[in-house]
Amino acid sequence: MAGHPWVRRGYSAALLALSPLIWRRVWRENLPGRSRAERWGCIATPSTAVRTLWLHCASLGEVQAARPLIEALARRYPERRLVLTTMTATGAERAHAIAERLQGEGGAAEVSHYFVPVDFPGAARRFLERLRPELAIFFETELWPNLLAACERRGVPVAVVNGRLSPRAFRGYRRLGRLMAEALSHVDWLGAKSEDDAERFRALGMVASHIAVTGSLKFDMARDDEAFEVSERLRSGFGSRSVWVAGSTHEGEEPAVLEAHARLRERYPDALLILVPRHPQRFEAVAELCRSQGMTVARRSMSEAVTAETSIYLGDTMGDLLALYGAAGLAFVGGSLVPVGGHNLLEPAAMGVPVLTGPELANFTDVAEALREQQALVEVTDAATLAEALMRLLGDAAERERLAAAGRAVVEANRGALAHTLEGLGRLLQAK
């Protein structure tokens, strides 16, 4: 076995020392009716006749990005059980929604979800013994040393798909050099988003011959007809108002968004902001922030009607972001005015909505560059420049249409990562 197993033992000891903090996080990230014992690998054992594909995504954003792959695996391997795991409760809810739809369509023999076990050696071993996957697939940067090692011990091939390492993440992982080299020694195939990502994985110790540059799965978004239908109903209800959306916003970002909206309403008094915070635990605080600034709020979760007096429509529900993007004339993607690294710029682009963003895009540099090359991205730096961009674009229908068309063209032109990824996964399964 390559790598440095002794480093993993030190890592496991550190996890044990941090177990009170880990348990606190586990206690919070759960769903009603679900046993927290899943976090220790205590899951149901399937029939030995069932062949299982396991796909792990960290949270909501990763589940959304992995949706084309999830659907493709269900279609390509309908005789297999497809198990999704997540770290967060919001990711679990989205995984359940996708699973229910796939099973309703008859797309797979079984699609189910578990919470991923905490990366203690015993929990990882117990989870693998009970799940018995034929293939383990980790999405993006989910590199859990004990889970990866447990896969190798059981002879389970491991793939990392849509592999990405931002410069910031790379610097952090590099400080754990030997631990990461040991973890990557258990990966049989890695599909990197870009050559830059591939180079960073090689620098961490990944065997070069096990890496392929596949492109980003985010470009392979499937058309969501249901989201388009919801968008159309919302637009009809909004009438002729000037509507923009700020999606996936974070703490410290909403004040700038609200300031930009207040400036916009000085010129466009009927302007309506659809505000969609990234994390559900912040819905109440964001609603209160809006009201504290004298803005009338209608909450989606409460089915409150948008009236002529409504200034903000708060998207405080889960799984509706695509539809809310499509209901607007302009879309600002959050996580980009604060040092988060941005969120998926392709979601509004795929819905035919012009895309605005702040400067913090470390997690989406490849996507941002593709949009920039086709002049399909409007970049702002603060509340003032965001307000200026909104006012300029609301007054220029031709430019809005150009941006929307350019964004859709970028999505279409960069498809193909899904086919490359399925090819790589197919080779691993054939080698079993």
What amino acid positions are annotated as catalytic residues? 62
Report how far residue 61's alpha carbon sits from residue 124's, in angstroms, rounded to the nearest whole number: 24
Q: What are the backbone dihedrals phi and psi of residue 4, each rounded to the nearest 5 degrees, phi first?
A: -135, 85
Nearest to 140 by CA among 55, 223, 222: 55
Report how far residue 305's alpha carbon sits from residue 220's, in angstroms, rounded to the nearest whole number: 34
Report how far residue 357's alpha carbon sits from residue 417's, in angstroms, rounded to the nearest whole number: 24
CB atoms under 10 Å from CB of 109, counted, come to: 15
Q: Which two tokens stand for residue 21?
A: 């903090």
Amino acid at 408: R
Q: What is the 3-state secondary structure (H, E, C) of 290-356?
A: HHHCCCCEEEHHHCCCCCCCCCEEECCCCCCHHHHHHCCCEEEECCCCCCCCCCCCHHHHHCCCCEE
Axis-axis angle for helices 121-131, 145-153 (nearest 10): 50
Report how far residue 155's alpha carbon sits from residue 119's, in angstroms, rounded to the nearest whole number: 18
Report how far residue 224's alpha carbon sits from residue 60's, in angstroms, rounded to the nearest whole number: 17
Report how far residue 25's alpha carbon sits from residue 28's, in angstroms, rounded to the nearest whole number: 5
Report how far residue 42's alpha carbon sits from residue 230's, in angstroms, rounded to the nearest whole number: 39
Q: How far is CA 284 from the centre of its chain?
A: 23
Judge contact between 75 and 103, C-beta under 8 A: no
Give Cα separations from 281 to 41, 210, 251, 290 (angstroms): 26, 40, 11, 16
Q: Give me the residues paired with residue 82 across strands.
A: 53, 111
Give Cα separations from 137 to 84, 133, 185, 261 (angstroms): 10, 10, 15, 42
| DSSP of 168-208 | HHHHHHHTTHHHHHHHHTT-SEEEESSHHHHHHHHHHT--G
Please give the DSSP secondary-structure letter assigned to residue 268. Answer: -
